[in-house]
């Protein structure tokens, strides 16, 4: 049994739109991280990804599946459910995502300052 996902694994104030490198859409990197420890049901993914709508989560999962990063398995026993799991291709992104996350955490203040300057119409440098 896979341990439950931490509802606070992603900072709710983290401005993910500031990430300069993305895999897929805005949510793909976070979904991949949620699947790191094994297969998860849709409802399990919704715990740490509480700010994503079910429709967008479904779209993101389908895009990851089409890209070969995630598999979707329908299980009939003991009760019918669907689980999502990383493929070897998806798993190969985990180290890269870790490096990107560390970089973003190190440079978050600079990223926020640059975004705010752009919104004000001034440049930073």
More confident: 3 or 82: 82
Q: What is the spatial distance between Cα 15 and Cα 79, in angstroms, rounded to a whole number?
A: 38
Q: What is the spatial distance between Cα 72 and Cα 58, in angstroms, rounded to a whole number?
A: 11
pLDDT in tens, 36-87: 999 999 999 999 998 899 999 999 999 999 999 999 999 887 788 899 999 9
More confident: 13 or 66: 66
Whether residue 13 is predicted with pLDDT greater than 60 in this model: the reply is no
Give the torsion sign (CA, 47, 49, 52, 57): negative
Q: What is the spatial distance between Cα 24 and Cα 10, in angstroms, rounded to a whole number?
A: 18
pTM of the complete model beyond 0.95: no
Whether residue 4 is predicted with pLDDT greater than 90 in this model: the reply is no
């Amino acid at each position: 049994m896979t341990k439950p996902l931490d509802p606070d694994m992603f900072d709710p104030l983290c401005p993910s739109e500031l990430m300069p490198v993305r895999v897929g859409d805005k949510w793909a990197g976070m979904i991949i991280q949620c699947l790191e420890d094994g297969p998860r049901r849709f409802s399990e993914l919704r715990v740490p990804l509480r700010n994503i709508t079910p429709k967008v989560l479904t779209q993101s999962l389908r895009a990851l599946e089409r890209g070969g990063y995630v598999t979707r398995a329908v299980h009939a026993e003991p009760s019918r459910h669907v689980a999502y799991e990383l493929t070897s291709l998806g798993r190969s992104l985990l180290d890269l995502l870790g490096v990107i996350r560390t970089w973003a955490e190190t440079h978050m203040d600079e990223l926020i300052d640059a975004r705010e300057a752009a919104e004000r119409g001034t440049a930073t440098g």
